Structure 1
Amino acid sequence: MYSIVDIETTGNGIKGNRITEISIFKTNGYEVIDEFTSLVNPECEIPYFITGLTGIDNDMVRNAPKLDEIAHKILEITADTIFVAHSVNFDYNVIKNEFQQIGLDFVRKKLCTVRLSRKLIPGYNSYSLGKLCSAIGIPLKDRHRARGDAHATMLLFHKLLRTPNADKVFKSFLNAKSQEATLPPSLPKAEFEKLPTTPGVYYFKDSKGKIIYVGKAINIKKRVLSHFYDKSTKEVTLCSETSYLDYEETGSELIALLQESAEIKRHYPKFNRAQKRQVQQYAIFSYEDRNGILHLAFNKLKMAPNPLHIFYSITECRLFLESLCETFELCPKYCHLQENVESCSHYKIKQCIGICSDLSYTKEYNERVVTAIESLEETKTDYVIKTKGRTIDEEAFVLTRRNIYVGYGFVSKETSLTHLDDFENYLIRQQSTLEAQRILESFIRKKEPKILKFTAETTR
């Protein structure tokens, strides 16, 4: 026996979604045995856009029964039946959550007519209920009302029961070990089966192949499956829009983290929230003016020639320059911490020797600026982090120059790399971002990886 179910809701997300109408057709696969349809008082306001879609407004449900008043009927008509719906996970999980709110359990085996249709009647451009019914000649009246959609789903289900190989497909879908009921309705099982159990980056794509989510994992297949079990609103919506999966193995968690960050910024997927923001970079640089005085200044990175040090906020950049100015007794005016003044009067920096009012100190002052610049260079290191490769015959590396992330690469274990420039031949260049720098700093601090540091002699 089967219960063909459709619900209309307030559309406020799975956990906040309230039922406004429910329709159930109980069938033996040939004829309707019982039917139950009712509006439901959601005990909350129905948004205008939902009323525009379904036609159900607050006045219609004001005197309708609340869910706890009809729960016994829903349990009775669906008892000992298989729960069937178009995109079954949505309807089933909303009902299950609503029942939990009133202290009742709702557990049924389930079948999805979207997944069944894709398997038994392949080749259609769309498997939405309206387009599919139109394509195969099933009448659909009162679209986006529970009874109209449930009745059309029942007719579709009866048709699917009579297609070639239906018995075999139905049995496989109902197999307790089968993942068919877990997978998103528009995602072919083969897409999931192709995923590896190795570290890497994975991609969720919509029906047009557009990337809508990027993630990273130590075990790609296991992590992707966890999205399908997650019943949060975001995850359910993401899965409902997923038609394809893709992946790229990285061999290690570190490169997976770095690649995920880069891919989010490259593709800007709609379901990724973190790391989308493009952080403005700033830099300290030096130049010599017409009077021969060396200046230290700061600006946006793209406007800074030959940057000496890079920052990810203007405040961080300015505070660092103030500290440098104070440590080496530089002039705030010629460090551009004060503008449009004849002589400096910085509220914190008092050690200026008067270069701003007496140019006779130029040589001595410039020497201190050079010393300050040299101090910045001394803190910068070229280094390589070695990590696992994608195969047992390969190893991976992450390369930084002057403490700035440059990219990563893969190389055979049999290849000997002794100089920093040797790694450049295998390098996949990446943009240095705030997130990438933080990933590297955190990884080094927590994992204490194998790091190869290079001096001028080994850099070539």
Structure 2
Amino acid sequence: MADNSLKYAIIDVETTGMGIHGNRITEIAILLHDGQKVIDEYESLVNPECSIPHSITRLTGIHDYMVEDAPKFYEIAKKVIQMTTDCIFVAHNVNFDYNVIHKEFADLGFPFRRKKLCTVRLARKLIPGLPSYSLGKLCTSVGIPLNDRHRAMGDTRATTILFDKLLTLDTDGAVFDSFLKPGSRQATLPPGLPKSVFDQLPERTGVYYFRDQKDEIIYIGKAINIKKRVLSHFYDKKNREVAMCQQTVNLTFEETGSELVALLLESAEIKHHYPMYNRAQRRNNEGFGVFSYEDRSGLMHLAWNSLKNVPQPITKFYNTTETRRFMELVCEKFELCPKYCHLQSNVNSCFHYQIKKCKGICRGEEQVSSYNERVRQAVAYMGNDNKSYVIPQRGRNNEERSFVLIENGIYQGYGFIDQEQQVSTLSELREFLILKKDNRDVQRILRGFRNKNESKFIPLQEESAFIL
């Protein structure tokens, strides 16, 4: 049994449902419990001083007319203080009710602070293995009557019966004590997240995943210290963070060793999974690659296609407009034919010939060898900034190292190599490569890294040797 010298204020609030910062209380119920029985109770409708959304009215049955003459929160604040002073604040999903009340008091300029206990987390510990720990489904599972669902006193009475059951199950009080210890993270963690899942997170560099009850990824982040960064989400009171944490029931991770690799993996995973709480980097701009080829007559063409279809592009762009604009500039600079640069189609001869900017290759008036030489000059011009590099990085442990590979200016991916493995050529390096897609966000990450770490970019050539 828990410490009988403690008192518990078991609380439920109904609200306008407008997020933590805009949420106002419409009804509150408090049952004061001495560790054995209920010794006092209080309930009241509350005028939120704003309209109640129709969706909330359908859920709770509380509408604007019901609260029109109800007291405003400042009028009941003294009673709430009296009922909760020197008590443990108890609720089902305690962070929600506590944060709403805390915000109401903050708006009045009063610091409301109480120790907290969450019956969701207590139930997960003391009644493990249930299909759901929402109040309604939990009460059904353990045979607790639940009347007036989504009304403050109805939910509070059901929570109190559950609380009594949990007190009985915790025969030596060890679970309650562990949740109440100063510095305990039990009340900080989302109600649906087992502490054991959080405890297994490493304090190392990598990427972490927030998952909901359907095991769908709802957020992806990167961190130098995964456990510390994840914990910071739980302390964040922004509406988006609170909503995300409320849905989180599982956490997974992938160590990278290197912050650069973590940044690149995070970007790729966001574009692959499209998590609902990742706003940035969701657009998957794979881009376009420019390439050259010879037709049957030996004439060199310039063209472009999506990067996935151009394994060795001369250069790259991230939308068709900038690709076409650049090709038009190259075409004009080197007096190439728009027809054979795939800028004009279904024509016998190009328009540039008429304005004296094409030497007539499309009309058979220029030798192929002469035209091809200018194409080769254009290819060299376009490829000037597209070098190949390897970026050595730390591995996931002391027995390995990692690397990032860029070929012809295109990000190829990253890989991990045992410390004892000797790699001295580009072809050998590719054997360890985990292929990833290039895109605008990846180039931004690499550009930012290079600005601070220019010396870590090792230039490569296919035939030359190097030491990694």
User: What whole-Å deviation, never above 9, does each CA across 1:372-412 have from its counterpart, x for those lacking one?
Assistant: 12333444322210011111232111112222111211112
Matched, 1:86 2:82: no
Aligned to 1:65: 71
Distance in 1 between residues matched to 2:127 and 2:90, nearest whole Å: 17
RMSD: 2.5
Match of 2:20 among 4, 9, 14: 14
Aligned to 1:131: 137
After TM superposition, give the deviation of residue 280 of structure 1 in Å. 4.9
Residue-pair matches, total: 459
Aligned residues of 2:403 and 2:416 also touching (Cα < 8 A): yes
Aligned residues of 1:354 and 1:361 also touching (Cα < 8 A): no
After TM superposition, give the deviation of residue 96 of structure 1 in Å. 0.8
Matched, 1:370 2:390: no
Q: How does 1:48-127 map to 2 (within 5 A)?
A: 48-127=54-133
Distance in 1 between residues matched to 2:159 and 2:173, nearest whole Å: 19
After TM superposition, give the deviation of residue 107 of structure 1 in Å. 0.8
Distance in 1 between residues matched to 2:178 and 2:311, nearest whole Å: 65
Aligned to 2:156: 150
Distance in 1 between residues matched to 2:14 and 2:39, nearest whole Å: 23
Aligned to 1:3: 9
Aligned residues of 1:386 and 1:398 also touching (Cα < 8 A): yes
Gaps of 5+ in 2: 1-6
Aligned residues of 1:81 and 1:108 also touching (Cα < 8 A): yes
Aligned to 1:222: 228
Aligned residues of 2:330 and 2:378 also touching (Cα < 8 A): yes
Q: Structure 2: which amino acid aligns with 1:31?
A: K
Distance in 2 between residues matched to 1:282 and 1:439, nearest whole Å: 19
Aligned residues of 2:360 and 2:366 also touching (Cα < 8 A): no
Matched, 1:360 2:356: no
Q: Structure 1: which amino acid aligns with 2:322?
A: E
After TM superposition, give the deviation of residue 134 of structure 1 in Å. 1.3
Matched, 1:173 2:182: no
SS of 2:442's equivalent in the other structure is helix
User: What whole-Å deviation, never above 9, does each CA across 1:206-245 have from its counterpart, x for those lacking one?
Assistant: 2343322211100001001001101112211211121221
Distance in 2 between residues matched to 1:142 and 1:8, nearest whole Å: 12
Q: Structure 1: which amino acid aligns with 2:205?
A: P
Aligned residues of 2:286 and 2:437 also touching (Cα < 8 A): no
SS of 2:173's equivalent in the other structure is helix
Gaps of 5+ in 1: none
Aligned to 1:389: 395
After TM superposition, give the deviation of residue 302 of structure 1 in Å. 5.6
SS of 2:52's equivalent in the other structure is coil
Q: Which deviates more from structure 2 when the two are superposed, residues 358-367 or residues 72-81?
A: 358-367
Identity fraction in percent = 56
Match of 1:163 among 155, 169, 193: 169
Aligned to 2:443: 437
Distance in 2 between residues matched to 1:394 and 1:304, nearest whole Å: 32
**Structure 1 residues 119 and 313: alpha-carbon distance in aligned structure 2, compared to 1, 3 A threshold:** same
Aligned to 1:260: 266
Aligned to 1:296: 302
Aligned residues of 1:409 and 1:426 also touching (Cα < 8 A): yes
Aligned residues of 2:359 and 2:365 also touching (Cα < 8 A): no
**Structure 1 residues 362 and 411: alpha-carbon distance in aligned structure 2, compared to 1, 3 A threshold:** closer
Match of 2:429 among 423, 429, 437: 423
Q: Structure 2: which amino acid aligns with 1:27?
A: H
SS of 1:457's equivalent in the other structure is coil
Q: Which deviates more from structure 2 when the two are superposed, residues 194-203 or residues 23-32?
A: 23-32
Distance in 2 between residues matched to 1:304 and 1:409, nearest whole Å: 22
Matched, 1:198 2:208: no
Q: Structure 2: which amino acid aligns with 1:116?
A: L
Matched, 1:447 2:456: no
Distance in 2 between residues matched to 1:280 and 1:410, nearest whole Å: 24
Matched, 1:344 2:351: yes
Distance in 1 between residues matched to 2:140 and 2:20, nearest whole Å: 28
Distance in 2 between residues matched to 1:30 and 1:367, nearest whole Å: 93
Distance in 1 between residues matched to 2:337 and 2:277, nearest whole Å: 49
User: What whole-Å deviation, never above 9, does each CA across 1:337-381 have from its counterpart, x for those lacking one?
Assistant: 4556654259xx974445456633554333211221233344432
User: What whole-Å deviation, never above 9, does each CA across 1:422-447 have from its counterpart, x for those lacking one?
Assistant: 21222222222322222122211123
Q: Structure 2: which amino acid aligns with 1:150?
A: T
Aligned to 1:32: 38
Aligned residues of 1:383 and 1:452 also touching (Cα < 8 A): yes
Match of 1:327 among 326, 330, 333: 333
TM-score calculated relative to the size of structure 2: 0.91
User: What whole-Å deviation, never above 9, does each CA across 1:93-145 have from its counterpart, x for those lacking one?
Assistant: 11111221222221111100011111122221111111111111211101011
After TM superposition, give the deviation of residue 175 of structure 1 in Å. 0.6
Distance in 2 between residues matched to 1:3 and 1:184, nearest whole Å: 21
Q: Structure 1: which amino acid aligns with 2:245?
A: C
Q: Which deviates more from structure 2 when the two are superposed, residues 218-227 or residues 43-52?
A: 43-52
Aligned residues of 1:285 and 1:297 also touching (Cα < 8 A): yes
SS of 2:415's equivalent in the other structure is strand
Aligned residues of 1:419 and 1:458 also touching (Cα < 8 A): yes
Distance in 1 between residues matched to 2:350 and 2:274, nearest whole Å: 48
After TM superposition, give the deviation of residue 197 of structure 1 in Å. 0.7
User: What whole-Å deviation, never above 9, does each CA across 1:161-187 have from its counterpart, x for those lacking one?
Assistant: 122335111111111121111011111
**Structure 1 residues 286 and 409: alpha-carbon distance in aligned structure 2, compared to 1, 3 A threshold:** closer
Q: Structure 1: which amino acid aligns with 2:250?
A: Y
After TM superposition, give the deviation of residue 18 of structure 1 in Å. 1.4
**Structure 1 residues 302 and 429: alpha-carbon distance in aligned structure 2, compared to 1, 3 A threshold:** closer
Aligned residues of 2:352 and 2:358 also touching (Cα < 8 A): no
TM-score calculated relative to the size of structure 1: 0.92
